[in-house]
Amino acid sequence: MYVETHSLTKSYGDFTALDGFSFGASRGEVVGLLGPNGAGKTTLLRTLMGFLKPTSGRASIDGLDCHRQSFEVHKRVSYLPGDARLFRTMRAREVIDFFTTVRRDNSRARAEKLAYDRFGLDPLRAVTAMSTGMRQKLALAVTLAVDTPLVILDEPTSNLDPTMRADVAALVAEAKSAGRTVIFSSHVISEVEQVCDRAIILRGGKLVHTQTLSELKRKHRIRAQLTGPLPPLPASFGGQISLTQGAAGDLLIETPGELSGMLGWLATLPLAEVRIEPVGLNALYEQFHPFEVSQD
């Protein structure tokens, strides 16, 4: 694993922000962190960056201890904070100049191309005269221009319009195709569903679920209204499906994989109506955070 944490815990007095968190991300993988505010997403990312000393447990990137070897770790990571603040005395081009000088692996040409051509920023505009979205774009440009094996983005699209969000998703896809590992946190479930290989759901500082998105895409939910009794399930289904029958003939079936075998059986049922839909990350997230689902 390129990124690993083992029983990582971070406490502030009585409050535990991250509680025995263990996960890993391999090279070239895009991992999305989902959870409401206070779930521990930012604490996890800031611990990976070595900004916070773990109370217990361990975090490593490329085999290097994130806290004790943070200098070496930072050579391998490009990081965008959740609330990216830039130097208020500088103009856009000076910000780019700083970040492309401070590290040798940051390409000025790529940063300028991203900032000016792709995001449409004005190089002479002062940071103080920029909107929150513009500052976020500039921070994204200097972060994504770095050629590091790992990119960590903490809510990168939080201040961006839908067009820019799509652009960020495309940039993450580009990073993945270049073989880079990407970890990013978000409140926007559709975004994670769109670009990630794996989603991790956090609650109260704990990892409550890990979901491979390709597996999730095979899962379907079938909602049906029966007009007669439900016949017994064929033995070939092997008990892999979940079936819930309501009193008024409502039927809810959740299937983990291939639908073709089931469609034939469905056709034999006394159906008034039927609706087949992918389970989706939203429904999964709802299981762990029932009142906090983002509809973005």
* Nearest CB to other proteins, comparing residues 103 and 110: 103
Bridge pairing between strands 77-80 and 150-154 = parallel
284 in Cβ contact with 209 (< 8 Å): yes
- The footprint of other proteins on this chain (CB under 8 A) covers a number of residues equal to 29
* Nearest CB to other proteins, comparing residues 51 and 116: 51
Q: What are phi and psi of 51, to 5 degrees?
A: -75, -30
* Nearest CB to other proteins, comparing residues 58 and 219: 58
Measured from the CB of residue 107, what is the shortest distance to other proteins in angstroms?
14
> Binding marks (x or -) toward other proteins, 90..129, rule CB under 8 A?
-------xxx-xxx--------------------------
CA distance 70 to 21: 19
Measured from the CB of residue 198, what is the shortest distance to other proteins in angstroms?
24
Measured from the CB of residue 61, what is the shortest distance to other proteins in angstroms?
13
CA distance 122 to 24: 39
Measured from the CB of residue 97, what is the shortest distance to other proteins in angstroms?
8
Indicate which single residue of 32, 40, 81, 205 sits in contact with other proteins (rule: CB under 8 A). Answer: 81
Residue 51 touches other proteins, criterion: CB under 8 A: yes
Indicate which single residue of 27, 53, 68, 217 sits in contact with other proteins (rule: CB under 8 A). Answer: 53
Residue 17 touches other proteins, criterion: CB under 8 A: no
Measured from the CB of residue 102, what is the shortest distance to other proteins in angstroms?
4
Indicate which single residue of 52, 168, 216, 281 sits in contact with other proteins (rule: CB under 8 A). Answer: 52
Residue 71 touches other proteins, criterion: CB under 8 A: yes
- Complete edge-to-edge strand list for the sheet that includes strand 206-212: 77-80, 150-154, 181-186, 30-34, 198-203, 206-212
Residue 89 touches other proteins, criterion: CB under 8 A: yes
* Nearest CB to other proteins, comparing residues 83 and 174: 83
Indicate which single residue of 3, 30, 33, 49 sits in contact with other proteins (rule: CB under 8 A). Answer: 49
CA distance 294 to 92: 33
Q: What are phi and psi of 53, to 5 degrees?
A: -90, 125
Residue 84 touches other proteins, criterion: CB under 8 A: yes
Residues from 126 through 185 that contact other proteins (CB under 8 A): 139
183 in Cβ contact with 25 (< 8 Å): yes
Please report, as ranges, the residues that interact with other proteins according to CB under 8 A.
42, 46, 49, 51-53, 71-72, 74-75, 77-79, 81-89, 97-99, 101-103, 139
